[in-house]
Amino acid sequence: MSFENLGEREKKVLYNLIKYYIQSADPVGSRVIANKFQMGISSATIRNTLQDLEELGLVQQPHTSAGRIPTDAGYRVYVDYLLRPEELSSELRDQIKTSILREGRGLNEILGQTCRVLGEITNQLGVTIAPRFESGVLRRIDLIPVADERIMVVVVVESGLARSLIIEIEATIEDRQLKEFERVLNERLTGLTLGEIKESINQRLADVSGHGRLIKLVVDSNEKIWAESTSGDIHISGTDRLLQHPEFSSVETISELMRIIENGTVLSEFLKSSSEEGIVITIGHENKINEIMNCSLVTSSYKVGNISGSIGIIGPTRMPYSKLVSIVECTARTITEALSGLKRTEK
C-alpha cells in the first residue's frame, strides 16, 4: 500500500486511532475518534474510513464487536510518514546527560548506565551494544604478565577505546622476551584493522624467529584477541518495566522474551545486523527473531572515532514512538559525547 494513495481523511483517522490506542491499549471505535479528536466529520464517516483502512491492511478488529487496532503495516505507515518527533523538555535532556556524562568511568560502566537510563525514562527495555572493535584500527597492543603462566593482552584502537583479556601460557616467559615480542607485534600490526589482523595473523608473523611459543600462543588465541565478542558486549535493563504493559501479562509471552534476553549472543547479533546510521525502527514481524515478533525496536548508532555501537529500546508495538525516537536520538548523541571524552582522557 503506497502512502501517497491514502486520502487526507484516511491519514488523519489512522493517525488519531494509533495515537489513542498507544495511550489506552483498548481497541478504538469510530465514536471514540469522533468525540476525542473533533475532526469535523460524523461517526458514520469515520466508521466507513476505518473499514477502508482495514481493507488496506492498516488496522484490524481483534473481535467482531470490538473497535480496531493498528497492524504492523499500520504502525509502519505511522512511523514513516505520520510521526511527529516530540521535543524533549530541558529537564529530561539534562537528566539523560547528567546520568551518562560522569567522570572517571570506563566503557562498560558508561554502557551499563546508558541502558539503565533508557529503561527508567522510557518504561521499556533499555539495550546497549558495545562498539564493533573489528573495524577499529590498532593503535597498540600491550602484553602484561599478571601471574605465573598468565598474560593480559590489551588491545587499543585508534578511537582510544581498549579491551583486554587474560590468556594462559604453558610456561613462564621472561619479561624481556615478552617486551621484545610486544614490540614485534606493534611493528607488524599497528595501522591494520582488527578484522584484517584476524584474517592474516599467520602470514604477518610467518617470518618472525625466536618467539616460537609466543607466536603459537597468539595464533591459537586469534579469535579471542581480535574477533568480536557477541555475548559480553550487550547490556540490558528494565525487564521489570515490561511487566507493566498489558501485552506482557501472559506468562508465556514474557517467558519467550526472557529467553532471548538471557541469550545475549542472539540479540546482539540481530541488533548489529540491523543497525544503520540514525534512528531505525523495526516493528513486529519485521523482526526476524520469533520471541520479539510482538515487539518494536527503536535503535540508533553511536560512534567513537571510526567504530560504532548501538543503543535502543525494546517494547510492545504499542509504544509512544514520537517520544521514544527523541529519547533514543538524544541518548545516542550523549553517549557519543561521553565516549569521545573517554577517548580524549586515554590519549
pLDDT tens across 180-212, in order?
999 999 999 999 998 899 899 989 998 888 888
In CATH, 136-226 is 3.30.1330.60: no
Residue 262 pLDDT grade (very low, low, confident, very high; cuts 50, 70, 90): confident
pLDDT tens across 269-307, in order?
777 665 567 899 999 999 888 888 889 999 998 887 778
**If one looks up domain 3-82 in CATH, what number appears?**
1.10.10.10
- The grid coordinates of residue 53 equal 483502512
Contact 119, 237 (CB under 8 A): yes
Per-residue pLDDT at 2 exceeds 70: no
Q: CATH 3.30.450.40 spans which residues of the chain?
A: 90-132+230-345
* Structural fold of domain 90-132+230-345: Beta-Lactamase (3.30.450)
Using CA atoms, how far apart are residues 173 and 216, in angstroms rounded to an integer?
13
In terms of DSSP H, where are the helices of the chain? Answer: 8-24, 30-37, 43-55, 72-77, 90-100, 107-122, 175-189, 194-204, 212-220, 222-226, 239-242, 251-262, 264-274, 321-345
Give the DSSP letter string of 62-88: SSTTS-BEE-HHHHHHIIIII--PPPP
Q: CATH 3.30.390.60 spans which residues of the chain?
A: 136-226
For cell 598468565, what's the residue?
150
Helix (H) / strand (E) containing 236: strand 234-237
The pTM score is 0.81
In this prediction, residue 209 carries a pLDDT of 84
